[in-house]
């Protein structure tokens, strides 16, 4: 399996598309937790908050920690939370490899029986992450039509969505890499 | 002599029986009230649900910084809702766009802890003194809600205090009541002109939040959470008759709840009403688009106020009064009515805690 990972990493097209998807996810993740947004005032500044690591380790909600710094770039405001950046990066790397594996199998589909649809399914759990992060906005927006008890169930469910997303993506990636490894016992023989 | 002794014995016996009867009845009555109250608090405590965040996940402001009106003005829109706390020497203004992210400000004024609170889900802003039987305390956000209302916890005993109730429902201090002080719900455009010396809560809270955005919508436009739809979280009692998000001016007189429609009061300017055979008067203050409630008596004499050609006058002496319940001219000049704390709150939330308040509702 290590050999197939090396081959995927060497395949520039797969890795670039995977990296673009991972980066896109990282941006969307920060938008969904409201740490990346547009503000009404254009300004350029970088402020580190006084709380230090005590602040950075302080939880706002399940899998959401306080920011340590604020970056204002024109009308874009970015709240930098080291722990959320780390979590986002971890999930983005999983997406990168899931997508790269899918692209890799698509590029060599003549010699590979792995279906692109099957490979991409490894990325779908990432949607759970977005759903988990957007939950408060989602609940407020739907409050006129959702029964109140739904909120309680949703909040209880919310804390499991990110771990579930993580586990499903790891499982999906392992399954796809395993299949690729079986299909390409000698990946270095593939045309570049 | 024997007769006299018997009579004396009879008297003593009668007095003893009466004393036992009085003590028993008192104990029985107080036990009943206490049991009823305890049961009510337990019922409320059973309805506490998690709102998602952990304790202090919605971080109270512990070290509030303030600006002058001039310095704060460029960053606050005229239509922004603000909460005003008038203390003896100074007035403090808390913009809603900051409070919505923190819900509690722990302040200390003249050595006394004060807690300014706002719950966006129930549209209620209340002030409490930090004096509890366990000492002076600050409050935190528990991350829980009951009837969609913020549940605070005190940092001395961890007891739970729903904001609207102002009373501990769980923990060591269960049953204890917080002392309230009035917090005025108004708009920046009115407050900045009225209180030109006030101190305004700054955005330097120590936390990264987008204070230009309200996660629940906006009070300035209609169709958002603040004026449409129902509660997001379950409530203990739901009224079918009136709109959930209708704003009422609500309060308690000796624990008996009352409420008045804010729109109705704004239209009528002044409403006299009765709670538990006690006469009250609610006066709308158009300088701040707010309302105040007073006891309709002064020096144990009844004072009935009415609007008369744009002036508030009492029926008894024809003295003129202002919106703050102060006599400003006439025989009673200098007199001041006792204020009963009343605050803005969404009807659904008040009804959820106090369904009996419908008996004292002016709509």
Distance, in Å, from the CA atom of B193 to the CA atom of B190, rounded to the nearest integer, reads 6
pLDDT tens-place string over residues B197-222: 999 999 999 999 999 999 998 998 88
Among the listed residues B304, B321, B303, the one whose alpha carbon sits nearest the alpha carbon of residue B312: B321
What is the DSSP code string of A48-64?
A: E-TTHHHHHT-EEETTE
Residue B232 is nearest to which of A49, A139, A158, comparing CB atoms? A139
Among the listed residues A166, A4, A175, A168, the one whose alpha carbon sits nearest the alpha carbon of residue A89: A166
Judge whether B59 is closer than 8 Å to chain A, CB to CB.
Answer: yes
CB-based contact B72:B31 (threshold 8 Å): no
Over pLDDT 90: what percentage of chain A?
A: 34
Inter-chain CB pairs, A–B, below 8 Å: 79
DSSP state of B254: T
With a cut of 60, say whether residue B9 has pLDDT above it: no
With a cut of 70, say whether residue A104 has pLDDT above it: yes
Please work out, in degrees rounded to the nearest 5, the angle formed at the alpha carbon of residue A15 by the alpha carbons of A13 and A20.
95
Distance, in Å, from the CA atom of B195 to the CA atom of B197, rounded to the nearest integer, reads 6
CB-based contact B95:B76 (threshold 8 Å): yes
B299/chain A closest Cα distance in angstroms: 49
| Category of B310 on φ-ψ map: left (φ > 0), alpha (ψ -120 to 50) or beta | left
Q: Residue length, chain B?
A: 363
* Residue A32: predicted pLDDT: 87
Mean of the per-residue pLDDT values for chain A? 83
User: How many Cβ atoms are within 10 Å of A31's Cβ, its own excluded?
Assistant: 15
Chain A residues close to B212, C-beta within 8 Å:
39-41
Chain A residues close to B232, C-beta within 8 Å:
139-140, 143, 146, 148, 151
Chain B residues close to A84, C-beta within 8 Å:
none
Question: Per DSSP, what are the bridge partners of residue B249?
Answer: B260, B344
* Residue A71: predicted pLDDT: 96
What are the counts of helices (DSSP H) followed by strands (DSSP E) for chain A?
A: 8, 4
CB within 8 Å: A77 and B217: no
With a cut of 80, say whether residue A186 has pLDDT above it: no
Residue A143 is nearest to which of B56, B206, B230, comparing CB atoms? B230
Distance, in Å, from the CA atom of B344 to the CA atom of B117, rounded to the nearest integer, reads 13
With a cut of 80, say whether residue B337 has pLDDT above it: yes
With a cut of 60, say whether residue B55 has pLDDT above it: yes
CB-based contact B345:B123 (threshold 8 Å): yes
Per residue, the 3-state secondary structure of B86-122, as one string, reads ECCCCEEEEEHHHHHHHCEEEEEECCEEEEEEEECCC
CB-based contact A68:A94 (threshold 8 Å): no
Q: Which long-range contacts (CB under 8 A, 24 or more apart) does A42-45 make?
A: A42/A74, A42/A75, A43/A72, A43/A74, A44/A72, A44/A73, A44/A74, A45/A70, A45/A71, A45/A72
CB-based contact B118:B83 (threshold 8 Å): yes
Longest Cα–Cα distance in chain B:
94
The set of residues, in sequence order, having a beta carbon less than 8 Å from that of A79 and lying 6+ positions away, is A34, A35, A36, A67, A69, A70, B208
DSSP state of A43: E
**Strand ranges (DSSP E) for A66-134?**
69-80
Higher pLDDT: B348 or B22? It is: B348
A143/chain B closest Cα distance in angstroms: 5
Interface of A with B in 163-182 (CB under 8 A): none
CB-based contact B233:A152 (threshold 8 Å): yes
Residue in chain B closest to A77 (alpha carbons) equals: B210
Residue A61 is nearest to which of B53, B148, B232, comparing CB atoms? B53
Burial of B323: CB neighbours in 10 Å, binned 0-12, 13-18, 19+: middle
Judge whether B53 is closer than 8 Å to chain A, CB to CB.
Answer: yes
Taking each helix axis from N to C end, the angle separating A148-183 and A82-107, rounded to the nearest 10 degrees, works out to: 50
Judge whether A49 is closer than 8 Å to chain B, CB to CB.
Answer: yes
Question: Is B189 strand, coil or helix?
Answer: helix
* Residue A145: predicted pLDDT: 63
CB-based contact B328:B337 (threshold 8 Å): no
Interface of A with B in 100-129 (CB under 8 A): none
The set of residues, in sequence order, having a beta carbon less than 8 Å from that of B314 and lying 6+ positions away, is B303, B304, B305, B306, B321, B327, B332
Higher pLDDT: B349 or A110? It is: B349
* Residue A116: predicted pLDDT: 61
What is the DSSP code string of B139-165?
A: EEEEEEEETTEEEEEETTT--EEETTT
CB within 8 Å: A143 and B229: yes
pLDDT tens-place string over residues B211-257: 999 999 899 888 889 998 889 899 999 998 889 999 999 999 998 99
Judge whether A54 is closer than 8 Å to chain B, CB to CB.
Answer: no
What's the average model confidence in pLDDT over B132-153? 96
B169/chain A closest Cα distance in angstroms: 21
* Residue A120: predicted pLDDT: 65
Chain A residues close to B230, C-beta within 8 Å:
143-144, 148
With a cut of 50, say whether residue B1 has pLDDT above it: no
Please work out, in degrees rounded to the nearest 5, the angle formed at the alpha carbon of residue A44 by the alpha carbons of A38 and A46.
95
Judge whether A149 is closer than 8 Å to chain B, CB to CB.
Answer: yes
Where are chain B's structural domains?
Answer: 40-236, 247-362
With a cut of 80, say whether residue A190 has pLDDT above it: no
Fold classified for B247-362: Rieske Iron-sulfur Protein (2.102.10)
Taking each helix axis from N to C end, the angle separating A126-133 and A135-142, rounded to the nearest 10 degrees, works out to: 60
B68/chain A closest Cα distance in angstroms: 21
The set of residues, in sequence order, having a beta carbon less than 8 Å from that of B192 and lying 6+ positions away, is B69, B73, B76
pLDDT tens-place string over residues B146-191: 999 999 999 999 999 999 999 999 999 999 999 999 999 999 999 9
CB within 8 Å: B52 and A55: no
The residue of A35, A43, A66 whose CB has the most chain B CBs within 10 angstroms, and thus the best one to mutate to test that interface, is A66
Where are chain A's structural domains?
Answer: 2-33+86-189
| Category of B304 on φ-ψ map: left (φ > 0), alpha (ψ -120 to 50) or beta | beta
Q: Which long-range contacts (CB under 8 A, 24 or more apart) does B255-261 make?
A: B256/B360, B257/B350, B257/B353, B257/B354, B257/B356, B257/B357, B257/B360, B258/B357, B258/B360, B258/B361, B259/B345, B259/B347, B259/B350, B259/B357, B259/B360, B259/B361, B259/B362, B260/B291, B260/B361, B260/B362, B260/B363, B261/B362, B261/B363
Q: Taking the alpha carbons of B214, B219, B220, B222 in that order, is the dihedral positive or negative? A: positive
With a cut of 80, say whether residue A57 has pLDDT above it: yes
Question: Per DSSP, what are the bridge partners of residue B139?
Answer: B154
Residue in chain B closest to A67 (alpha carbons) equals: B208
CB within 8 Å: A156 and B229: no
ipTM score for this prediction = 0.82
Distance, in Å, from the CA atom of A162 to the CA atom of B211, rounded to the nearest integer, reads 27
When pLDDT is cut at 50, 70 and 90, the band that residue B2 belongs to is very low
**Distances A17 to A8, A26, A96, A98, B307 between C-alpha atoms, Å:** 11, 14, 8, 11, 74
Residue A140 is nearest to which of B53, B207, B215, comparing CB atoms? B215
Judge whether A55 is closer than 8 Å to chain B, CB to CB.
Answer: yes
pLDDT tens-place string over residues A12-35: 999 999 999 999 999 999 998 899
Q: Residue length, chain A?
A: 192
CB within 8 Å: A39 and B217: no
Chain B residues close to A55, C-beta within 8 Å:
206-207
């Amino acid at each position: 399996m290590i050999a197939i990972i090396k081959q995927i990493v060497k395949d520039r097209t797969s890795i670039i598309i995977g990296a673009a998807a991972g980066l896109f996810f990282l941006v969307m993740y920060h938008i969904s937790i409201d740490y990346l947004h547009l503000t009404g005032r254009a300004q350029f500044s970088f402020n580190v908050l006084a709380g230090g690591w005590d602040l950075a380790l302080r939880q706002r909600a399940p899998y959401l920690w306080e920011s340590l710094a604020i970056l204002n770039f024109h009308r874009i405001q970015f709240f930098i939370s080291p722990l959320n950046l780390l979590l986002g990066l971890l999930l983005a790397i999983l997406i990168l490899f899931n997508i790269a594996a899918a692209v890799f199998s698509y590029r060599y589909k003549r010699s590979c029986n792995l279906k692109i649809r099957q490979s991409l399914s490894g990325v779908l759990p990432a949607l759970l992450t977005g759903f988990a992060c957007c939950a408060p906005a989602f609940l407020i927006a739907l409050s006129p039509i959702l029964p109140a008890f739904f909120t309680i169930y949703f909040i209880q469910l919310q804390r499991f969505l990110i771990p579930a997303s993580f586990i499903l993506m790891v499982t999906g990636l392992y399954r796809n890499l395993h299949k690729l490894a079986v299909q390409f016992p000698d990946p270095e023989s593939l045309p570049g | 002599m024997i007769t006299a002794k018997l009579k004396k014995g009879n008297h003593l016996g009668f007095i003893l029986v009466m004393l036992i009867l009085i003590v028993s009845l008192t104990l029985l009555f107080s036990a009943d009230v206490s049991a009823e109250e305890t049961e009510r608090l337990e019922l409320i405590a059973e309805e506490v649900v998690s709102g998602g965040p952990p304790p202090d996940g919605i971080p109270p402001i512990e070290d509030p910084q303030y600006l002058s009106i001039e310095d704060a003005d460029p960053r606050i829109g005229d239509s922004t809702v603000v909460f005003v706390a008038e203390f003896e020497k100074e007035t403090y203004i808390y913009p809603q766009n900051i409070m919505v992210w923190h819900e509690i400000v722990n302040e200390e004024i003249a050595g006394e802890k004060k807690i300014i609170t706002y719950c966006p889900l129930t549209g209620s802003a209340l002030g409490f003194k930090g004096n509890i039987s366990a000492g002076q305390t600050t409050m935190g956000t528990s991350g829980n809600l009951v009837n969609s209302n913020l549940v605070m916890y005190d940092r001395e005993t961890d007891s739970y205090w729903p904001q609207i109730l102002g009373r501990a429902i769980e923990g060591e201090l269960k049953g204890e009541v917080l002392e309230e002080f009035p917090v005025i719900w108004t708009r920046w455009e009115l407050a900045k002109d009225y209180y030109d010396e006030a101190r305004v809560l700054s955005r330097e809270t120590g936390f990264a939040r987008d204070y230009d955005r309200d996660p629940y919508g906006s009070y300035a436009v209609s169709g958002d959470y603040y004026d449409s739809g129902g509660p997001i979280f379950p409530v203990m009692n739901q009224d079918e008759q009136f709109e959930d998000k209708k704003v009422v001016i609500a309060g308690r007189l000796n624990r008996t709840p009352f409420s008045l429609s804010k729109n109705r009061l704004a239209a009528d300017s002044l409403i006299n009403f009765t709670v538990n055979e006690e006469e009250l008067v609610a006066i709308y203050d158009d300088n701040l688009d707010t309302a105040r409630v007073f006891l309709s008596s002064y020096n144990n004499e009844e004072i009935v106020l009415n609007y008369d050609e744009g002036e508030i006058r009492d029926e008894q002496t024809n003295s003129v009064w202002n919106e703050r319940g102060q006599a400003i001219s006439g025989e009673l000049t200098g007199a001041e009515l006792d204020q009963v704390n009343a605050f803005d709150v969404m009807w659904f939330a008040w009804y959820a805690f106090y369904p009996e308040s419908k008996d004292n509702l002016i709509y």
